[in-house]
Amino acid sequence: MTSSSDQSNLFRQIIMDHYKNPRNKGLASDPRGYMTVHLKNPSCGDDLTVQLLVEGEVIREIRQSGEGCSICCASASMMSELLESSTISEATEVIRNFNLMVKAEPFDEEAIGDALSLQGVSHLPQRVKCATLGWQATERGLERIRQNRLAGEDSTGLSQGGHIDADVEKEENYEA
């Protein structure tokens, strides 16, 4: 059985690994076909952009880039690694479970992979926005793709790409 201290140390190592060696870091040089979502949290300085390339129902690629605290950057790395190659519905379910976890509500531990290491933020309300920024960006991007498809746009919902820009502190969206 793993002690609480051992588990805490393991979680810290996972977070630092994702922070120092981020997965899917860097934005596409040609954003056509990508949904680009830029979110920032001015209260702590986190500033993150996520790009989603969705083909049919599958997230083919997730890119992420930004600046922020170790929690924000590590969480975005975990999110991109976990959700890439999943279907939109699978990704939506993983995001739902992650959001439940950070609210300290019952969730499926197996659904969220390395992101389980961020469970402790549920006890630190000021860090919840840090941990959820990348997940929020992805959720908003997937929702926009759904809206575009319902509006009868091309099969990806992104013939030329799309962009969402928002300040999560104010929760006002500025769409280009």
Residue-wise pLDDT tens digits, 82-126: 999 999 999 999 999 999 999 999 999 999 999 999 999 999 988
Q: How far is residue 23's CA from residue 18's CA, in Å, rounded to a whole number?
A: 7
Structural domain count, the chain: 1
Contact by Cβ (8 Å): 54, 158: yes
3-state secondary structure of 39: strand
CATH, residue 88 = 3.90.1010.10
pTM of the shown model: 0.89
Range of the domain at 55: 4-175
pLDDT tens-digit map of 34-59:
999 999 998 889 999 999 999 999 99
Which of 35, 98, 93 is closest to 62 using CA atoms? 35
